[in-house]
Amino acid sequence: MKKKLSPVIPLLLSLILLAGMFPVTVFASNDEFVLTAINHLSAISIVDVSESHTAVLTVSYTHPDTLDFSSGLDIAYDTSIYASASASFPSGSEAIVGGDPVAMTVTYQKNGNAALYTASYSLSVVRAAGTASSFTGTITKTLKAPETLAFTMADFTGLYTQNSGGPLSSIVITGSNPAFGGLKWGGGDYVFGTPVSLAQIQAGTLTFAATAEGTVSYTVKASAAEAPETLIGGVVLTITASAETDNAEEEEEDDGSCHFPDVGNRHRWAVQAVDYLYEAGIVTGDGEGCYNPNASISRGDFILMLCRAFDLSADDTGSFSDVEEDSYYAGAIATAKALKIARGAGGRFNPNASLSRQDAMVLMIRAMEAAGLTLQTGEENGLNRYCDRSRISNYASESVAALVNAGVIQGSGGRLNPKASVSRAEMAVILYRVLSM
């Protein structure tokens, strides 16, 4: 006589079969440290967590009161041990600066093991101590005589560090004009010691007119909106004018731009790129017929050029809190934000700040991806031939490596100069190389 199979046994067999279809999840013990480092785009520095489950990230003094870890977070782990690791925030990813920590769960998989494990971390955000604003460095400008050079906001904002002070609002220039030219402002001679607002500079009212060759240096100081009477810094502004040649033979050998008189033999390496971008409607001059190849390019202007170059558009019109709605680059920045090209920090994008070379590369890669273009991922050890490779920020390494691997970025003198401001001439060459690939 056959015995009936207990109804519990088939149920157990089914559970065993189902269990075999899914990876096993095990909670890691607290003495196992998965991550080696934690960083965020808004943080001042990377936090080492190789022997801790707690991380305190420091943001700038001027950072908003909250930081959202759902975007901009960067976690690092030992790939010789772990096959993957990802972060999640079961109780919310927004942290209050100086407030309670946020709980983060890291789900990870070990090499050669299909099981999933989790480890718990605690993230806190604190604000850096307030320090005085600074305005330091050197601005070097060149032109041919007789020509007029127009200054841009990016010439000055790139040397200003706000820290705990207010945003840069105006500059004051001291010195004396040379015999071969002079500073002009608002249609007349500039009176030394007179404040010039950033808006007036952006409008192109501050210029230097050269009548002959020579070099002159001025001292520039800055002030912030909340304390216009307080001047800080002492930036050196050096202007060099070279004389036009009277030699007809040399003129015939001039391989300068067909459109801009200030893009000539000294910028021969950029002439083809500048003319190509101008004829394609991607770049324009300063309104007075010049291109200003040595001027630093602002973050807003670069985004505008990327949108034009890759014909980018988006339905979402939301932008950043520091982008004025009626600015000429507002639409482009809104598009870039919607496409996750421009991500900013703390709800701000700093459109008038000068753009670093590494940030230009990051934005370039994101714009290419948004346009459906891809580059082969570059091996980051390929950057080791550059002596300043260690100065590349973690968030930019992959983008820099990809553009170096593609031959778009070639460096100079064995350096990449990742944190130096990118000039309008350099920007033109980088963008032209990408579009010509």
Judgement on whether residues 222 and 315 belong to the same structural domain of the protein: no
Judgement on whether residues 319 and 416 belong to the same structural domain of the protein: yes
Listed residues 198, 229, 244: the one ending a domain: 244
Is 372 a member of any domain?
Answer: yes
pTM: 0.47
CA distance 301 to 318: 18
Instruction: Give residue-wise pLDDT tens across range 64-94.
Output: 899 999 988 889 888 888 888 899 999 999 9
Domain tally for the chain?
3
Task: Give pLDDT, residue 201.
Answer: 87
Is 277 a member of any domain?
Answer: yes
Judgement on whether residues 297 and 361 belong to the same structural domain of the protein: yes
Is 253 a member of any domain?
Answer: no
Is 6 a member of any domain?
Answer: no
Judgement on whether residues 144 and 290 belong to the same structural domain of the protein: no
Is 257 a member of any domain?
Answer: no
Judgement on whether residues 200 and 345 belong to the same structural domain of the protein: no
User: What range defines the domain where residue 170 resides?
Assistant: 134-244
CA distance 108 to 90: 16
Listed residues 82, 98, 127: the one ending a domain: 127
Judgement on whether residues 235 and 303 belong to the same structural domain of the protein: no
Is 216 a member of any domain?
Answer: yes
Query: Any idea what the Cα angle at residue 196 is, between residues 190 and 197, rounded to 5°?
Result: 155
Judgement on whether residues 306 and 418 belong to the same structural domain of the protein: yes
CATH number of the domain to which 64 belongs: 2.60.40.2340
Judgement on whether residues 98 and 140 belong to the same structural domain of the protein: no
Mean pLDDT of 405-413: 79
Judgement on whether residues 358 and 397 belong to the same structural domain of the protein: yes
Instruction: Give residue-wise pLDDT tens across range 186-244.
Output: 889 999 999 999 888 878 889 999 998 899 999 999 998 878 889 999 899 999 888 75
**For residues 63 and 287, which has the higher predicted lDDT (pLDDT)?**
63
Judgement on whether residues 140 and 123 belong to the same structural domain of the protein: no
CATH number of the domain to which 215 belongs: 2.60.40.10
Tell me phi and psi for residue 102, to 5 degrees: -105, 135
Label residue 41 by pLDDT band (50, 70, 90): confident
Judgement on whether residues 391 and 282 belong to the same structural domain of the protein: yes
Is 260 a member of any domain?
Answer: no
Is 95 a member of any domain?
Answer: yes
**Any idea which of 12-16, 128-132, 149-153 has the lowest mean pLDDT?**
12-16
Listed residues 244, 278, 301: the one ending a domain: 244
CA distance 368 to 137: 33
Task: Give pLDDT, residue 28.
Answer: 46
Judgement on whether residues 215 and 184 belong to the same structural domain of the protein: yes
**Is the pLDDT at 344 greater than 80, yes or no?**
no
Instruction: Give residue-wise pLDDT tens across range 104-142.
Output: 999 999 988 888 999 999 999 999 888 788 888 888 888
